[in-house]
Amino acid sequence: MAITPNFTASVNFSSPRILSLTDTSTGTDGTLTTRRVYLQKADGTYLVPTGTTTNYIVWNYAVSFIDIDVLDIDYALSIEIRWMAGSTEQYTDSKLFDFTTYSENFYYQLTQYQSSIPKLVDDSGYYLNKLKLRVCIDEANQAISLGGDVKSSQAALDRAKYLIDNQTTFF
Note the pLDDT tens digit of each residue in 22-57.
Answer: 999 999 999 999 999 999 999 999 999 999 999 999
CATH T-level topology, domain 2-99: Immunoglobulin-like (2.60.40)
Q: Strand, helix or coil at 7?
A: strand
pLDDT at 134 over 90: yes
Residue 56 is predicted with a pLDDT of 98
Helix H or strand E encompassing 11: strand 7-12
| CA gyration radius, the chain | 19
Which residue did the predictor score with more confidence, 161 or 120? 161
CA 67 to chain centre: 12
Domain boundaries, the chain: 2-99, 101-170
pLDDT-based confidence at 100, cuts 50/70/90?
very high
| Residue 126, helix vs strand vs coil | helix
